């Protein structure tokens, strides 16, 4: 078995080393580690390995605080202390920007979260055939059962009874709502009448559960109260259904909102276009500052939620448009609409197709 020394972290769960002139990707490794590894696969010029023995630990390695690691594949870097995680993320972001000819320093590029653990307002768990809940093992479809998640809000409790009662369950998403929670059941088939009855009985018996949303195929059935409140900045709370997208770390999201408002110098009567607006995470803070906001998203439920929140908050100079981003932007161009500020918060696939139209 080769002995290696880890040089850096890269995206996902991997650290990077070199062996026999090849790049070696090793999960559960830390910069500065000296390791004995076993090669598991080769793809082109890259080899993948697993750690067999830690000969000497790097300066930033720690025992993962979560007792389900390293079996659970839900978290990648808990074996690094938090300061080292921040440095590694900043270096990766700076390197990516440099490849786009944007020279930035990695120093202070990533804002630390107020809390390393207990910050996630929502988690999505896999469901085994016997109703067991957990995450997949890294690189596998094997379920690692858990009874709690260290990064989840302390108010989140695993709904084992619901997982055992419903048929055709694939995943359960649990969303914190104060001291209670809303559970989103993602099913392989549309929920049956029997599923609905079981969910109603469980909701009636579980004081910690505020609502249940059953989703399968094109069906979406709501039992109880599905709404959660999200504080996006001081004095501004949005009410959205639990199955709509929201940033999982509310404290960091408030930093994001404040930074965007500051960078855009958003003020009264400014024309703002928010593309991929979701339920209004950035649109409604801009409207609160008196801006005239047009906002676009393909999710009709998110657009309906944003519209309701704008009306409830008295933000009259807002228009939320349900549609594909490129088609909506091209329509606005034909309509001679010219914003002063464009906000983009796209999914991971990015927004390259929009750049020419935005310019």
State residue 22's pLDDT score: 87
Backbone angles phi, psi at 107, to 5 degrees: -65, 120
Are 44 and 116 a contacting pair, CB within 8 Å?
A: no
The pLDDT, as a whole number, for residue 171 is: 97
Q: In sequence order, which residues have a C-beta less than 8 Å from that of residue 69 and are 6 or more positions away?
A: 75, 78, 79
Residue count of the chain, please give it.
359
pLDDT of the residue at 118: 97
The pLDDT, as a whole number, for residue 44 is 85
pLDDT at position 129 is 81
What pLDDT is attached to residue 2? Answer: 83
The pLDDT value recorded for residue 19 is 87
Pairing of strands 318-322, 292-297: parallel
Query: What local confidence, expressed as pLDDT, does residue 35 receive?
Result: 96
Q: How far apart are CA 289 and CA 326, in angstroms?
A: 27
Positions of the chain with pLDDT lower than 50, given as ranges: none
pLDDT in tens, 66-103: 999 999 999 999 999 999 999 999 999 999 999 999 99
C-beta separation of 18 from 32 below 8 A: no
Q: Which pair of structure tokens corresponds to residue 74?
A: 């839900």
pLDDT at 21: 83
């Amino acid at each position: 078995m080769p002995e290696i020394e880890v040089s850096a972290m890269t995206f996902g769960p991997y650290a990077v080393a070199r062996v026999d002139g090849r790049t070696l990707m090793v999960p559960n490794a830390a910069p500065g580690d000296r390791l004995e590894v076993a090669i598991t696969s080769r793809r082109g010029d890259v080899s993948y390995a697993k750690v067999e023995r830690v000969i000497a630990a790097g300066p930033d390695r720690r025992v993962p605080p979560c007792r389900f690691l390293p079996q659970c594949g839900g978290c990648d870097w808990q074996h690094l202390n938090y300061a080292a995680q921040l440095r590694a993320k900043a270096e990766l972001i700076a390197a990516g920007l440099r490849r786009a000819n944007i020279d930035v320093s990695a120093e202070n590029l990533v804002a630390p979260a107020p809390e390393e653990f207990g910050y996630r307002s929502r988690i999505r768990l896999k469901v085994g055939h016997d109703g067991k809940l957990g995450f997949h093992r890294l690189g596998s479809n094997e379920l690692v059962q858990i009874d709690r998640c260290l990064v989840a809000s302390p108010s989140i409790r695993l709904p084992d009874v619901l997982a055992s009662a419903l048929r055709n369950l694939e995943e359960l998403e649990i969303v914190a709502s104060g001291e209670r929670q809303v559970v989103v059941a993602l099913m392989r088939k549309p929920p049956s009448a029997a599923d609905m009855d079981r969910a109603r009985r469980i909701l009636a018996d579980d004081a910690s559960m505020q609502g249940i949303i059953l989703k399968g195929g094109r069906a979406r059935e709501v039992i109880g109260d599905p709404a959660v409140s999200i504080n996006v900045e001081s004095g501004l709370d949005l009410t959205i259904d639990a199955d709509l997208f929201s940033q999982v770390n509310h404290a960091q999201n408030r930093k994001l909102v404040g930074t965007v408002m500051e960078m855009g110098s958003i003020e009264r009567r400014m024309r703002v276009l928010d593309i991929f607006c979701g339920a209004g995470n950035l649109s409604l803070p801009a409207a609160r500052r008196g801006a005239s906001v047009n906002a676009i998203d393909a999710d009709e439920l998110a657009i309906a939620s944003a519209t309701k929140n704008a009306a409830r908050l008295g933000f009259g100079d807002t228009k939320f448009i349900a549609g594909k981003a490129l088609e909506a932007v091209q329509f606005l161009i034909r309509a001679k609409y010219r914003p002063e500020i464009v906000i983009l918060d796209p999914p991971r696939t990015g927004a390259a197709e929009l750049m020419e139209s935005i310019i």
